[in-house]
Amino acid sequence: MESPCSSDSLSQSSPPSGVTCKICGLTARGYHFGVLACRACAAFFRRTIVMGRQKKYKCRGKTRQLKCIVSSTDRYQCRLCRYNKCVKFGMTPENVQFNRDSITTTTAKRDDGSVVNPRTSSLGNRRTLVDMAALASKAREILNEKSPVIDAATRKNEHVGDCESRAEELEEAAESESEMEVLKRMPVRQMFVLMEKQMIGVAKWLIQSPDFRMLDSDERYQYFKTVWNTWRRFERFEMSLKLFGESAVMIKKFALSNKQITTIDFEIDYSELTDSPNDKITQMFRESTLKLFDQLAKPLLELKPSSIEMAYMLSQMSWQIAGKQMQGKVIEMSERVSDELADNLHTYYLKEELRSNYADRLVRLMSVVNSVKKLYLERKETLELARLFEVFKVDFSEPEIFDS
């Protein structure tokens, strides 16, 4: 049987209750790179090795004539000292999987890579039903991951580290621009394959959040269905700006995936979904796409948000949209989480950025979040009208997945 030290994944057997991470002192979640560690420290070590960051880190304590203490009590730990401590306790670069597929799935797929069942059922009037049971099952499997009960203090300490880890993980998979394929046209079936992979990525991002794990199974799935598509677009625009800079705004260059680029003349072939002319369907969504470039890409280009700020915006957006849609327990949690996110960002600005006057920047960050929420509602209305007038000739067994 394979040793737990031979993989960068979580050990199959959970550590005894109360065992702490050797690096920072939080609850250990298994063996990572041969050492009992929490998810955040394991992800930090893997990112450091894969992206070659160890040579770029500088000791924060040395520049401030202070001694660094790597501990969960310090929300913004010195990265060089944290990395050195990982090595000291036995984490080794040899165990890092450089070509790990972050969205590997055991679900049986069609030749085109989709987990959507190709079988359709007649609904009358030339309409068909697309069975998405396999995809829903895969998403639920990820979202229902078991985790220990987390007390309030531990949850608060984990929150910022997890946010930063999740945001920085998004950068790992991106190819350089020279290695990416420029697309002019894509069949809608292929677009769904791409979106399915990104759905799984969002599910994996969400389940790492201590607050999200406090929801029950049905609440997690409803939350996921509500936010995943808006989350995906937000993240893709931010990644496009990292890769292409001003070109993302000036010529609408967009990272559709980590391997594919589109520009403003890109179009999707919707013929499998509708009998309407393709240019009519393209035009129906073009206005919202242009608004995203204007109201999201431009401000992000000016702000150049850090990974912490990006995680803050994604989290605020997700909880606010889900809270308004789901109401009840979720809206109550969203208010608490929003306050905690603001407190954590305040600490980040004071300790990491050494910036006390950040009110204007915070207003600009929230302006971006509010623009995304507004565009989410507009796009939702467009899809509702399309459904009302039966623009599309198919229905999905999980219609809410594509409501945004």
Topology alike, domains 4-95 and 120-402: no
Per-residue pLDDT at 39 exceeds 60:
yes
Packing angle between helix 278-292 and helix 359-388, nearest 10 degrees?
A: 170
Q: What confidence tier does 392 reach under pLDDT thresholds 50, 70, 90?
A: confident
Q: What is the DSSP letter of 394?
A: E
Q: What pLDDT, in 10s, does the model give residues 330-355?
A: 999 999 999 999 998 998 898 888 88
Per-residue pLDDT at 367 exceeds 50:
yes
Query: Could you give the CA distance from residue 71 to residue 82 in angstroms, rounded to a whole number?
Result: 9
Residues 6+ apart with CB under 8 A from 208: 39, 162, 165, 166
Query: Could you give the CA distance from residue 87 to residue 114 in angstroms, rounded to a whole number?
Result: 40
Q: Which residue has the higher pLDDT, 77 or 350?
A: 350
Packing angle between helix 307-326 and helix 152-172, nearest 10 degrees?
A: 110
Please say whether the beta carbons of 114 and 196 come within 8 A: yes
Domain ranges, ordered by start, for the chain: 4-95, 120-402
267's enclosing H/E stretch is strand 267-269
β-strands 260-262, 267-269 pairing: unpaired
What does 115-173 look like in DSSP terms, one character per residue?
A: -S---EEEEETTEEEE--HHHHHHHHHHHT-------HHHHHHHHHHHHHHHHHHHHHT
Per-residue pLDDT at 5 exceeds 50:
no
Residue type at 208 in one-letter notation: Q
Q: Which residue has the higher pLDDT, 331 or 74?
A: 331
What percent of the chain has pLDDT above 70? Answer: 77
300's enclosing H/E stretch is helix 298-303
Q: What pLDDT, in 10s, does the model give residues 133-146?
A: 888 889 999 999 87
Q: Which residue has the higher pLDDT, 396 or 357?
A: 357
pLDDT at 117: 47
Task: Identify which of 22-36, 104-118, 152-166 has the greatest average pLDDT.
Answer: 22-36
pLDDT at 8: 42
pLDDT at 10: 38
pLDDT at 165: 55
Q: What pLDDT, in 10s, does the model give residues 281-317?
A: 998 888 888 999 999 999 999 999 988 899 899 999 9
Q: In DSSP terms, which residues pair with 186 in a beta bridge?
A: 268
β-strands 35-36, 31-32 pairing: antiparallel
Q: What pLDDT, in 10s, does the model give residues 81-140?
A: 999 999 999 888 776 654 443 333 333 344 444 544 444 444 445 677 778 888 888 999
pLDDT at 97: 55
CATH-assigned architecture of domain 4-95: 2-Layer Sandwich (3.30)
Per-residue pLDDT at 62 exceeds 80:
no
Q: What confidence tier does 78 reach under pLDDT thresholds 50, 70, 90?
A: confident
Task: Identify which of 53-57, 62-66, 83-87 has the greatest average pLDDT.
Answer: 83-87
Q: How many other CB atoms sit within 10 Å of the CB of residue 16?
A: 8
Q: What confidence tier does 254 reach under pLDDT thresholds 50, 70, 90?
A: very high
Packing angle between helix 307-326 and helix 217-244, nearest 10 degrees?
A: 140
pLDDT at 164: 55
Q: What confidence tier does 262 reach under pLDDT thresholds 50, 70, 90?
A: very high
Provide the strand spans (E) within 294-400.
394-396
Average of pLDDT values for 383-396?
Answer: 84
Q: What pLDDT, in 10s, does the model give residues 208-240?
A: 888 999 999 999 999 999 999 999 999 899 889
pLDDT at 42: 85
pLDDT at 56: 79
pLDDT at 249: 92
How does 310-343 read in b/e, with b if 16+ C-beta sit within 10 Å? bbbbbbbbbbbbbbebbeeebeebbeebeebbee
- Does the domain formed by 120-402 have CATH 1.20.200.10? no
pLDDT at 364: 95
Residues 6+ apart with CB under 8 A from 246: 301
Q: Which of 38-42, 121-125, 165-169, 319-323 has the lowest mean pLDDT?
A: 121-125
Average of pLDDT values for 373-385?
Answer: 89
Q: What confidence tier does 171 reach under pLDDT thresholds 50, 70, 90?
A: low
Query: Could you give the CA distance from residue 103 to residue 200 in angstroms, rounded to a whole number?
Result: 7
Query: Could you give the CA distance from residue 129 to residue 272 in angstroms, rounded to a whole number?
Result: 13
pLDDT at 126: 60
Average of pLDDT values for 65-71?
Answer: 74
pLDDT at 356: 85
